[in-house]
Every structure is written in structure tokens, then in C-alpha cells.
A and B are shown apart, each in its own frame.
Chain A
Amino acid sequence: MCWNQNRNHNQKKSRSRWLLTACLFCGLFVSGWSAPGGSAAAQVPPSQYGRVLLDKYSAKAGLGPVTFDHWLHRSKFTCRVCHVDIGFAMQANASGIRAAGNQQGYYCGACHNGKRAFDGKVVFPACSNTAPTAECARCHSAGQGSRKYDYETFTAKFPKNAYGVDWEEAEAMGLIKPIDAIEGVSIKKASLKPQEDFSIQPRVTWVSDIIFSHKKHTVWNGCELCHPEIFPATQKGVVRYTMFNISSGEYCGVCHGKVAFPNTACSSCHKNSQNKEALTNVVTMPAPARATGFGSVKFTHTTHVGEHAIKCVTCHHPPKGPGAQSSTEQMCSVCHTHTPTPPVTTNLEAAFHNTGGTAGVCIDCHKSENAKNFSNDIEFARSLLPNDQLMVDAAKAQLVHGKDPQMRQLAQEVITDRQSEAQQVEQWLKDREAATWAPVKCRDCHKKANNVNQ
């Protein structure tokens, strides 16, 4: 049972991989446009990225859920202060924060006690025993109330990237100075010895090694936040961290994709000096199983990612969360069956040719193998043979069953001419050693529609 499940899973996986590859490699030839149904629209705005709604006990107390803006707190504190020293869990609602605990000085109450001051300002107390007041709405706003700190205003001077604030850069520029210890909460410790960054080799060849910023992670997180809870492996290479795992919220995905920069920011991790080179690599996709006559497709990252600035996530869909789609890889046809709209001008918009066959033919993409063998002369010659045979068969039938002398004479001429033509073509093909060559045939694609029995 288990084995069968695994086998089915593997088959699905294999199918999905093929689909992925096929989509990836074929699908992107076009453009600067986002794929239909792409993930960009599904992404939350930076002001809400990492926002946590805490509603384990609020509703029971007649209050709205607590809206916690992660960006605001991470600008002021290291991850370690909150998730180690104060003890907040890494998952929303997992800490089980209660008003009583806050009043005792735990969780939010560790800082929000009406006494502690940061940046010269006393932090408002988290909870009280009095009946709910307007003050409660500062936290229990259910995501609706106005916030004292507006994201746009607060981060106006911070360096930004496509995913919001570049916190690392902001710290490097001295715009933020996250506090790493809170008096009375944090334990006095020796400063951590800086850790060395290291590289992780991905399983695929078309992306560069991951340069893991161990130094930055330990400065912000300490050791015990990540090990062993998030990364339990004690030896490098023992555990394979897949993008599927990460996108599902495991490993790096505990933070990245939720509060830290998302997994779609590929170059934030795959960023060593070979990255650009890796992206220029041409990836060869196998010929689709349904059309073995096709050659493989050579997919160029340079064209798609470089020239047309297509984002990685356009083709590599996360399996879960924002941007997730029915398959993890983009189908080539999703993009390559659309008429380009400016500024896209590529002539491969119809790589999957239109019904008239006037635009987009197989050879446009499957040129790696076909280019060296394809000859229109040969294709023309080969296309004549079945037609000749068809006509000869029809003419022979006419000679047996037909009665009109004029039509019988025409049938005889067809037999003579077509047989002669067929012999000529066969000899021509034989001379070019092309008689057995099997180029792309229409029916390779149109089996279902026109060759039901095949």
C-alpha cells in the first residue's frame, strides 16, 4: 500500500516534472508580460506582508483579533529577542498569548508595559483589567483600524526591492538598529563569534549555488532559534531542502515567504558570481512524449529572464501560498498562444500554431534537432507519397467499378502518372538517405483529433 502510494506519488511527481520542464522551457519564449493567472496579483502588498492576525482568545473576550505588524517590530528588534528571549512561537497563534500573561510581563507585556521606553518613547501597556476601551483597538484592530505607524511613511527612506524593504541593506545603511537584548528579559551573553557564510549546491544546474548568509542569520537569530527546531540536520548534505519543502513552510520557509523576503526572490539566495552565467545556460528540454518526432527544445534563460525580464515565479510556481497554481511549472502554451501586445514583439507568440497554421510552427522551438535535419524539400517530397498512393488506390477502384469511359481513361492516366511520380520521389529520397527519416508530422500532434485509432 505504502509502496503503491509512493509509486503513484512518484508517477505524479514525474509527470509534474515533465510538465514543469515542458512549460518552463517552451512557455517563456515570449515576453515582458506576466503569464495569465500569474502570481504577481496574488502577492500581498508590502505593508501587509508578514502581518499576523492573532485570534486565539480575542473573540472570546469580545475583542477583535490582534493585528501584529511584523515589519514594524522587526525594524526595532532582532528576531532572537522576540522568538528566543521573549519566547514567541514561530507560528501565528501558537504561543497562546493571554491578557493575564501580558499583564505579568510576558509576551507582548515584556515591552508593552507602560514603563519600558524605546527611542525615547514609553511603550503603551498591552492589556488591562478594565473594560475594553478605544485603546484596546491599537492592537485588537482586526486589521481594520487605523495604525499609528503607517508603512509608507515609516519606510519612506528605507531601501526597497521588489518585495518591500531591503532590511539587510537598511541595517547596513544605519537606518535601523535592531535591539538585541532587553533588560530584565534577555540573559547577558557573550557576543556570538561571527559565523562564516557557506554555499549550498542546488540539484539543478541552471541556478547558481546558494550563498547562505550564516553570519547575518546568526546575528539576527542567534543559534538556538534555527537549530535544531528549524534545521535539525547536524551534517551538511544529509537533508535535501527542496523548494517544495520551503514553499510549504519548512526550513527556510518558516520565515521566507511569511515574514522575510519571499521564495520568489530567487537571486536573493542564488546570488553568487556564477549566477548570471548560470542563467545564461541553455537548458535542453526533452521532446514531448506525445510527439516523438519533435526535437528537443532549447530553452534559454537569457532570453526569458534576461531580455524579457520574466520573473522566476512566472514559470516556477510555488506549490502553496501566494502565487500557487494548479501545476508547479508554467505551460509553454500559456504564453505562446497569445498575440503579443506591445512592448512584446517576439514572433514566437504562437509557437503553438494557430488553426490556419500561418503562425508558429514546431520548428520555431524544436529547432535543436530539427534544424540540422529539417529540409522543406524532403518534407514536401515525403508529403507527396501518401497522396500519390491515395490517388492510385482511388484510380484502381475506378477501373474496377467505374463505367464512364472518360473517367476510366482519367483513372488510368492518374495511375501511370502517380506511380511514376512516386517512384521518382522515392528514388530522390533514397539518394538523400532521407527515406527513413521521420521528421515532425502533423499527426504527431493531431492524433487524437484525426487518428483516433492510432
Chain B
Amino acid sequence: MVVLKRLVISLLLASSLASAPQKPSSPPDSANQSWQKEFDDICSKTQDAMTFSVDELKALVKRCDALAPRLEKLDETQKKVYLRRLKQCRGLFAYVLESKQESQPKEKP
């Protein structure tokens, strides 16, 4: 009987521990891969920046802006390196976008 009681208690304890929220440890690989994948995908397009339409360029700038806060969470050096790289990519897309918008004929009011 005593043994049974102890068994029930330990089972209850184990289940309560299992359901308790855990402290976040190091980011899982999938999260790391997620920003890296997005970063690579965005910045791999700089070579083709001139061929994109205005809408495509706007979308790329938006993606850069969305990615930046995620990079802010990286550790110091990684953050510095990737934010600079992202800034260069975003800068180029915005630059080409501005260039295209300026060269487009303005609509008459």
C-alpha cells in the first residue's frame, strides 16, 4: 500500500515537472537556420537588383526591415556582421528602387 502511494506521488510529481514551463536555453538550430535562410535568400538577390520591378524591390526592402529585428537578437559580433551586410543589401534595393521611381514618367495630376 505504501509502495503504491509513493508510486502515485512520484508519477504526479513527474507529470507536474514535465508540464512546467522551461527556461529558454540556446536557440534551437531551426530558429538560427530560419533567419540565416531568409538573410541568404534576400541578399543573394543583390546581383539582380537592376532587373527587379518597383514592386519586387519594395517587397525586398520590406523583407529586410522585417529581418533586422531578428538579427538584433544575435550575439554581439554576429549581430554586427549580419546587420551591416543586411544594411548593404537593403541599401542597394532602396537605391535601385529610388532610381527606378525617379526615371519613371510622372503621372499628370
In contact, B77 and A227 (Cβ under 8 angstroms): no
Interface centre among B76, B77, B78, B91 (most CB of A within 10 A): B77
A85 to B95 Cα, complex, angstroms: 19
In the complex, what's the smallest C-beta–C-beta distance from A197 to chain B, in angstroms?
16
In contact, B44 and A187 (Cβ under 8 angstroms): yes
Which of A96, A98, A232 is the one whose CB lies under 8 Å from B95?
A232
A189 to B43 Cα, complex, angstroms: 9
A222 contacts across to B, CB distance below 8 A: 46-47
In contact, B77 and A104 (Cβ under 8 angstroms): yes
In contact, A228 and B91 (Cβ under 8 angstroms): yes
Q: Given A84-B85, A87-B80, A106-B78, is A227 in contact with B47 using a C-beta cutoff of 8 Å?
A: no
**Restricting to A97-145, which residues have a CB under 8 Å from any CB of B?**
98, 100-101, 104, 106-107
How many chain A residues touch B (CB < 8 A): the figure is 30
In contact, B98 and A234 (Cβ under 8 angstroms): yes
A191 to B44 Cα, complex, angstroms: 10
Can you name the residue of chain A whose Cβ is closest to the Cβ of B93? A224
Chain A at the B interface: mostly helix, strand, loop or mixed?
A: loop
In contact, B44 and A100 (Cβ under 8 angstroms): no
A86 contacts across to B, CB distance below 8 A: 81
Q: Given A227-B91, A228-B95, A234-B102, is A87 in contact with B47 using a C-beta cutoff of 8 Å?
A: no
In contact, B47 and A190 (Cβ under 8 angstroms): yes
In the complex, what's the smallest C-beta–C-beta distance from B82 to chain A, in angstroms?
8
A189 to B82 Cα, complex, angstroms: 17
Q: Given A101-B77, A106-B78, A234-B98, is A229 in contact with B88 using a C-beta cutoff of 8 Å?
A: yes
B40 contacts across to A, CB distance below 8 A: 187-188
In the complex, what's the smallest C-beta–C-beta distance from A149 to chain B, in angstroms?
26
A304 to B81 Cα, complex, angstroms: 50
Which of A188, A190, A224 is the one whose CB lies under 8 Å from B91?
A224
Chosen A-B contacts, 16 in total, with CB atoms closer than 8 Å, are A87-B81, A89-B84, A100-B77, A101-B76, A101-B77, A101-B80, A106-B77, A107-B77, A107-B81, A188-B40, A190-B44, A192-B47, A224-B46, A227-B91, A228-B91, A234-B102
- A residues near B, CB below 8 A? 84-87, 89, 95-96, 98, 100-101, 104, 106-107, 187-193, 222-225, 227-229, 232, 234-235
